Amino acid sequence: MNIILKSVYKDPIWELKMGYYPSPFGLALLAFDSKGNLYALHFVSEGSIHAEETLKNSFSEAVWTSNPSGAAQLGKELFSAPSESSVSLVLYGTEFQQRVWSALLQIPVGNTMTYSELAAFAGVPRAVRAVASEVARNQIAYFVPCHRIIPKHGKNVGEYRWGRALKEKLLNSEKEVYGNIDLTT
């Protein structure tokens, strides 16, 4: 996968497409452009009627169109062989957000970090709360692995925008493939 950094101040989004894909971890709502670049992947809870509205609010300047077949094709490529995918992830945000999300991308599969470790890794060790806020604003679930951030106390995996159960499922999936993950880092 390639990473494209786009500034909210310099690179306006004109058109985005959206559609749903039944990922291995549950139904996902994808936002992408005409080139197939991924801007967002949100997991959708059963009965959630606000998923599209939430997504549109995250990219309020975009013009939206529905594209179920494009989402199916993109989702299949993303989830069948992520490491071989030619899809680009677009990190659309401020410089600070991009710094935090880029740091998330460097956490190896099968590893976890605490918020303070991530802040130090991103070069802003005194900005733990700000880093935590930007982790929560991550638009590309799973592929920008905010699920790998756990609380310092180590009592559980912590909260997750799409629910603790999904976070545990993601971490356990990585654990099955890549070995034992120490959740008490």
Catalytic residues, which ones?
Answer: 146
Pairwise CA distance, residues 167 & 164, whole Å: 5
Pairwise CA distance, residues 150 & 25, whole Å: 19
Pairwise CA distance, residues 17 & 179, whole Å: 37
- Helices 95-105 & 128-136, crossing angle to 10 degrees? 80
Q: What number of CA atoms fall less than 13 Å from residue 63's CA on the CB side?
A: 3
Q: Cα(first)–Cα(last) distance of the chain, in Å?
A: 28
Instruction: For residue 95, give the DSSP letter.
Output: H
Instruction: For residue 58, give the DSSP letter.
Output: H
